[in-house]
Structures are given as structure tokens and as C-alpha cells.
Amino acid sequence: MGSFKGQVFLVLLVAVAVLVMAFSAVPASAKTYHKVHEPKEIHKKRCYEAVKNNFNGWVKRVGDYVEKSSKSGPHTKRNLGVVAPRTIVVDQLGRGNFLTVQDAVNSVPTGNTKRVIIQINAGTYRQKIIVPSTKPFITFQGAGIKKTVLVWHDTAGEAGGTGLSASTFVKSAHFIAQDLTFANSAPAPVGGAVGKQAVAFRITGDMAAFYRVAFLGAQDTLYDQTGRHLFAHCFIQGSIDFIFGDGRSLYLDCHLNSIAVPYEGSLTAQNRGSNTDIGGYSFVGCVVTGTGPIYLGRAWGPYSRTVFIRTFFENIIIPAGWYNWGITSRQKTVFYGQYECSGPGANLSGRVPWGRELTSAEASPFSDTRFIDGALWL
């Protein structure tokens, strides 16, 4: 499946990711910083702790609830009871219900209201996957980010657009993914190449969460397009604008790894379009490593909004930090900032004047799950 060149790139892509993770690329100083300097109250607020300690319980909470009736005299009393989620097994060797992930998704009823766990056994699954908006409450459960890989190799030029290049596209609400990798194996392009964007994962569904998930690609790896999302303990690798879109998303303790050519890359390209748009990206307690120098973000939208809070940066950040997309008027409308970040790449002395050093009050709304209305759905 796919070209030999694409297969070779996927092998290299996964190898880089495995090396980075396996040999603990997180600098010791970053680990020490969080242990010593992070206030206890902030630490306690971190949503990923609840997810980590009781992920199965969380699945049940955001899963299906059905009404059970019992009569008391002339009146009817209705109670809510939790239904155990249905599990579908995908296995390439025929030891499950389906051989492909898409077939498993297709088997979920339209208008689904029950949590369905699609257990994807170890293997590399080479196909495009779409989860339609009519099928909410689906969980992709892998066998580990080095064991379960969902990959395809489209580019914007081949597929007819950047969004259409996505290897996996989730349109539905209440999607959950854990312990797997989403990848696009198209070769990394040089800066300025036309039609070479290659999305590994795209999401427009609301109220989605990802735990211990890897996203591997180069230009435009993760299309965090719209909706409220939580990414906890994820590994995201790319080169140019490798997290982009207009989602309202919280990235907790994630590892961002750049494979960019010097001065040709950027971590983010947030696309907030107006001052009433709720979109924005918040990175809390993250680590940024890899090649550079690169930008923290580029102003894809005129009101682009991205903040980094208590994040450790290796020495790979262009001193200016932020780029206005070549449109000077955006310098007056974007919201870009850092708060209590560390590492050699966090130095604020060379930052553009329209990039902010946030105060505690300014950083607070972005620091925990309040930013994504987590109390309503997590």
C-alpha cells in the first residue's frame, strides 16, 4: 500500500519518534522545573491526573446513559443508570470482529447514543479513516503508541486540499483516543513547496479527548480545526505549522518535537477569525524539542490566539517568537503569550513587542480545563 518513498519516510518518521520518546528527550532541567516551581494548586487542577488515574471511569461518565423506569404508587420515577460500553475488536490477523478500523466505524449505528470502544490491536493499519458526525461516543483504544499505528500518505495536491489529505478525520462529538499513533507518511516538504501539506489527523467534532496519543507528520500534522479538545500526555511531531486550525484546545503535558529545517518551521498556526471567536490553543506544562530555529506560532487568522504556560523550550525557538503572516495589521489583534516558561528557548528578550509576557491573572483562564468548559463534559 502506498509508494516505496512514502513507506521509507514512515519508517524514518516512526523511528525518530521512538528514539525521542524511548531515550527520554525531555531535559532533566525541565523535569526539575515542574517539580520545584509549579504551585500545588495549579498541579491539582490538572485534568490529566483524573484521566490518568481513572480513564475507564471517565469513559463511563462521558458514555451512554439510559433511563430506567420504576413505579412508586401512581407516579413514575425515572432514574439514570450507566450502561457498560460496547467493545468492537479490530485485528489484522482476524482475531477480532473486523480487519480494518473503517469497517468497525461503519458498524456503529447512525445516531449512536452509546459509548462504543473500538479496540485496535497491535499493527500498522494503512487506510484513510473517517468518523462521521452522525456517530458520536466512539473511542479508539490502541495497544500503545509504538504498537498501534493508523497511517495514510495523501498530500493536499493529491487529495484536492489540505483538509482532504487527513489520514484520519473525526467529525463526531465525544470522541476519545488512547494509546495509539495517527500518522501521515508523505515525505517532508521543503519550505514553500506547493500542495505538500499532509495531515495525520483532523478533527471538527466537539468535546474530544486524547490520552497518550502520538501524531506524526511534517507540514500540517495535526489539524485541530474546530471544537473543544483535551490533549493529555501526547507526542506531536512535525515541521511547518504542525498544530493548526481554530479549535479551542488544551494541551497538557504534551511533547512537541520539531523536525523542521532551520528557519522554515513553526509549532502552531492558529486561525481565530474575530474577537468573538472562542478558538485558541493553550499549552500547559509541555516540552518542546527537536530541530530549529522555528517560530512558536504564525498568525494564520487575524485574531490568532496561542499561549504557552510553564512550558520548557530547548534552544530551537527563533528569538522573535511569533510571525504575523506578513500582515502587519494582525500585530494589533492577535493574542500571543508566555507565562513562567523555562529553558533556553523561553528567553523573552528578543520577542516581538506584540507578544506578551502574561501576568498570573492573564494566564489563569488558560491554565486548566476551564478554558475548554471541561466541567460540562469531562
91 counts as catalytic: no
In angstroms, the CA 141 to CA 119 distance is: 5
Please report, for residues 141, 170, 214, 233, 255, the alpha-carbon distance to residue 179 in angstroms, rounded to integers and kept in the order given: 6, 17, 8, 10, 15
Nearest Cα to Cα of residue 364 among 41, 48, 37, 34: 41
3-class secondary structure, 202? strand
3-class secondary structure, 160? coil
Of 241, 246, 253, 368, catalytic: 241
With cell 480545526, the residue in question is 225
Handedness of CA 262, 321, 255, 274 (dihedral sign): negative
Cell of residue 265, nine digits: 518551521
3-class secondary structure, 17? helix
With cell 470482529, the residue in question is 97
Task: For Cα atoms 153, 122, 52, give the angle at the middle one, nearest 5 degrees.
Answer: 100
Cis peptide before 344 (omega within 30 of 0): no
Give catalytic residues, as residue numbers.
241
